Structure 1
Amino acid sequence: MTPQDSAPTEEHPSAEDEVVRICQDLIAFDTSNYGDGSGPGERKAAEYVMGELTEVGLDPVLLESEPGRASVLVRIEGADSERGGLAVHGHLDVVPANAEDWQVDPFGAEIKDGCVWGRGAVDMKDMDAMILACVRELARSGRKPPRDLVIGFLADEEAGGVKGSHWLVDHHADQFEGVTEAISEVGGYSVTFDGKQGPQRAYLLQTAEKGIAWLRLRAHGRAGHGSVPNDDNAVVHLAQAIARINQHVWPREYIASVRQLLDGLSDLTGASYTDDDLGALLQNLGGAKGFVEGTLRDTSNFTMLDAGYKHNVIPQSASASLDCRFLPGHEDDLMATIRELAGEHVDVEVVHRDIALDAPFDAPLVEKMKSALLAEDPGAAVLPYCLSGGTDNKALKRLGITGYGFAPLQLPADLDFAPMFHGIDERVPLDSLRFGARVLGKFLADC
């Protein structure tokens, strides 16, 4: 639907004016996703988004994969609908939060120390708020964006998007008709380091992301009494497999986006590096260092264990959950390595898998993102990087849509931002939200 034809007035707040309120409103909805079908779902947050969109004359649709698991989509007609459309999307679900670990109520959306605190403030109700605020401003202005926009607020990303983005692609692909590119979470935030000429700010624009292989290792053995020797113990088989996999050293490989990031950092800082020694260079990234380290090789991390039911009973099976992330083109090799390391007594089951992504940094859409950032922060640099996690852009790739991570935030140099993804005391500065709303608004007006 075309935004309503109404000129902006003093009664209509700008995106910059509204973004903090919307972020608080969204955080206050507990949309915790436990990954097992439990939890409150996204429906209440989706209904809120519907209200914010219809209030400014748009005609969104709410789509549920099952009761409570709701996504919202709205199409905004562009000045040139013959061009490929742009999807701008975020997810409404969040990972769970243990309130006892936090300084504040994780769903209280409290403003403290110049930040909005709460689960989702970083991942990713901050970006949801920026999108919603900018779309509301666009609708009120009566202006058409350069091309069609498909705006999405999606369910279930934190569990792989099975009940969100992937379900939409499977059952409502028509909603994305004509869309060729997309932007979503994580990329576009700033890091500050010592450059050649003094403090230097750089924005990390996500052009690639690793693939996902969530695996379950299931060991089999002979059940028996805990007092009787047993040379076919499932718990032992599993423990040995865990040790072998944990001790495996995955070889390094520098994909294009990682190489460009490292070279760019080296040029800005004057710090040299070798493929075997990145230590000094990566220190410049602060908390984002871990994200980048996760993209230098494939990874495998054990996350859950399940075995036995009584102290004096040897169980016949034992299982462990393994989170693997692979670089583009590495999935087959990773799976073969895991199966070999698991050994003959352990089956490897795929619980969930998804593809790796790799998009060009030298692209017109990237130039538009850079232009919007540099209009607000002229002295900054913009560098590509690969995300060690995953986003809903994976699902859209099945429709041929090229996705980037662009959630623009100018962050204080001393804020340890990246570790707050899925961490405690998650928070985003108010000034960063307002900066993001300005940048995203410029981008959507020029995309």
Structure 2
Amino acid sequence: MTSASDRSSRTAHPDTVQQAAAPVLTAQDEVVRICRDLLRIDTSNYGDNEGPGERAAAEYVMGLLQEVGLDPELFESSPGRANVVVRIPGQDPSRPALVLHGHLDVVPAQAADWAVDPFAGEEIDGLLWGRGAVDMKDMDAMILAVVRQMVREGRKPARDVVVAFFADEEAGGTYGARYAVDHRPELFEGATEAVSEVGGFSVEINGHRAYLLQTAEKGLGWLRLVADGRAGHGSQVAHDNAVTHLAAAIARIGQHEWPMVVTPTVDALLRGVSDLTGLAYDPKDPAGVDRLIDALGPASRFVGATIRNTANPTQLSAGYKANVIPGRAEATIDVRFLAGHTTTGMATLRRLAGDKVRIEPIHEDIALEAPFSGHLVDSMVSAVLAEDRDATVLPYALSAGTDNKSLARLGITGYGFAPLQLPADLDFPGMFHGIDERVPVDSLKFGVRVLDRLLRDC
């Protein structure tokens, strides 16, 4: 970058100053700056359409894409809830398109709980800190850096790529991917596959590096439990107490032991872990399955919740005064069902809730399971191994959810692949929605190299 004095000198003496051509920036040169800039934009999503929104980040993304000559579209689902989409023509436009997507919102952060300002985007000891560093402004930055380099160099991806940056993923995607799918489906015309977050990161298994490619994710259910009872004075005998009814239901649901279920994706993962560790694998042996999951280290946080359904009480609300028995009490539960287990899982929840408590949906979405095979999977595996040839790539299921759920409504098969080579001692999964989010700078540079390879061959 030249200084203001340099520019002034050239203006004053055009015949005596000869300037060298500006260096062409690569994705590895840009990715850290882009990620830092995104981290410094507060896009906290508090749910219920509250928060600063994604508009400022979306405008930043628009500028980066327009700067290299692309023509992206920004559209809002609600004031401030902005999405950005651009289509990049591929070498073979007859092939189905690929959607490469990220989300611009983040969960809120309490600054007092952090070692650094969560929105300062500080680089400390080779790591970039900030809310969204792992979920998922790191991947947003990698996508932007790779796309900018590709366009500057005049290269086309192997096929058409729809690049999308969505709002509202952290609250279910109502104002983001779901809105785009329902109101702007033409943007994804011809697309059959998608790549996004929470996969492609490395873990150490018995001294061997493995990358977990996300091929499945559990279903989502945010449900409200409602108990009605007889309101009255707090000093009276209350046989029909809404709080008591609700508390009993919550205790039953929260303490319920869901049976172990090994899905095809988890089965493939555990077989791979067994090969790397030498530990025996029997899908009917819960203790053996737990040992294999423990061998995944920090990644066991994600994987351990994918061998059974889960239902966790998360919110409670009842009453308005100490001496008044309320006539209504409510709670919220976060339910994650395995693919194919929603109907039986809901029947279990209704039984546990009992006849005094009803269940109302707040937000629900489907489980996904995609094959660990095909050209796209082969391309992702090859791209990783080209940068880390002694590694292994294994499929895994995500206990949470992504915007791939919304794209599935258009028949698009989604994968999680945000490639990062990570230090073995970094608790990467533990930082999702946690404090002190940080990502190694070298991991970002590794990621852009892998993504660039993927787009050449996808």
Note whether the superposition's TM-score is higher than 0.5. Answer: yes
Counterpart of 2:76 in structure 1: which amino acid?
E
Give the Å deviation of 1:113: 2.1
The correspondence of residues 331-346 of structure 1 with structure 2, limited to 5 A, is 331-346=342-357
Equivalence for 1:390: 401
Residue 378 (structure 1) aligned with residue 389 (structure 2) = yes
Q: Any idea what the Cα deviations from partners look like across 1:194-224, whole Å, max 9, x if unmatched?
A: 2xxxx20000000000010110001110111
Equivalence for 1:218: 226
Q: Distance in 1 between matches of 2:367 and 2:22?
A: 46
Picking from 56, 59, 75, the partner of 1:44 is 56
Residue 203 (structure 1) aligned with residue 221 (structure 2) = no
Equivalence for 1:326: 337
Q: Any idea what the Cα deviations from partners look like across 1:330-366, whole Å, max 9, x if unmatched?
A: 1111111111111111110000000110100022110
Equivalence for 2:84: 72
The correspondence of residues 348-367 of structure 1 with structure 2, limited to 5 A, is 348-367=359-378
Equivalence for 1:159: 171
The correspondence of residues 259-270 of structure 1 with structure 2, limited to 5 A, is 259-270=267-278
Equivalence for 1:272: 280
Give the Å deviation of 1:155: 0.3
Equivalence for 2:198: 186
Equivalence for 1:416: 427
Q: Distance in 2 between matches of 1:13 and 1:221?
A: 66
Q: Any idea what the Cα deviations from partners look like across 1:253-304, whole Å, max 9, x if unmatched?
A: 1111100000000001111133321233222211110211110011001111
Equivalence for 2:104: 92
RMSD, matched Cα: 0.9
Residue 401 (structure 1) aligned with residue 407 (structure 2) = no
Q: Is the 8 A contact 2:205 2:276 kept in 1?
A: no
Q: Distance in 2 between matches of 1:279 and 1:103?
A: 33
Q: Which runs of 5+ in 2 are unaligned?
A: 1-20
Counterpart of 1:222 in structure 2: which amino acid?
R
Q: Any idea what the Cα deviations from partners look like across 1:402-442, whole Å, max 9, x if unmatched?
A: 10000000000111110100000000000001100110111
| Corresponding residue SS for 1:41 | coil
Q: Distance in 2 between matches of 1:282 and 1:76?
A: 40
Counterpart of 1:235 in structure 2: which amino acid?
V
Q: Any idea what the Cα deviations from partners look like across 1:10-59, whole Å, max 9, x if unmatched?
A: 62211111111000000111000011221000000000000000000000
Give the Å deviation of 1:229: 1.2
- Equivalent pairs counted in the alignment come to 435
Q: Distance in 2 between matches of 1:282 and 1:392?
A: 26
Q: Distance in 2 between matches of 1:281 and 1:258?
A: 11
Picking from 249, 253, 261, the partner of 1:241 is 249
| Corresponding residue SS for 1:336 | helix
Counterpart of 1:276 in structure 2: which amino acid?
P
Q: Distance in 1 between matches of 2:154 and 2:255?
A: 59
Q: Distance in 2 between matches of 1:320 and 1:12?
A: 56
TM-score, normalised by the number of residues in structure 1: 0.96
Q: Any idea what the Cα deviations from partners look like across 1:354-411, whole Å, max 9, x if unmatched?
A: 0110100022110000000000000000000000000000010110101000000000
Equivalence for 1:289: 300
Q: Distance in 2 between matches of 1:313 and 1:423?
A: 37
Q: Distance in 2 between matches of 1:426 and 1:120?
A: 7
Q: Is the 8 A contact 2:232 2:326 kept in 1?
A: yes
Q: Distance in 2 between matches of 1:282 and 1:329?
A: 22
Counterpart of 1:85 in structure 2: which amino acid?
A
Counterpart of 2:407 in structure 1: which amino acid?
L
| Corresponding residue SS for 1:410 | coil
Q: Any idea what the Cα deviations from partners look like across 1:74-107, whole Å, max 9, x if unmatched?
A: 0001111110000000000000001000000000
Q: Any idea what the Cα deviations from partners look like across 1:97-132, whole Å, max 9, x if unmatched?
A: 010000000001011121100000000000000000
Counterpart of 2:46 in structure 1: which amino acid?
Y
Residue 115 (structure 1) aligned with residue 123 (structure 2) = no
Q: Distance in 2 between matches of 1:220 and 1:280?
A: 44
Larger Rg: 2
| Corresponding residue SS for 1:204 | strand
| Corresponding residue SS for 2:306 | coil
Picking from 145, 151, 154, the partner of 2:157 is 145
Residue 298 (structure 1) aligned with residue 320 (structure 2) = no
Counterpart of 2:435 in structure 1: which amino acid?
I
Equivalence for 1:5: none
Residue 231 (structure 1) aligned with residue 242 (structure 2) = no
Provide closer, same or farther for how the CA distance between residues 269 and 10 of structure 1 changes in structure 2, counting only shifts above 3 A. farther
Q: Which runs of 5+ in 1 are unaligned?
A: 1-8
Residue 81 (structure 1) aligned with residue 93 (structure 2) = yes
Q: Distance in 2 between matches of 1:326 and 1:140?
A: 44
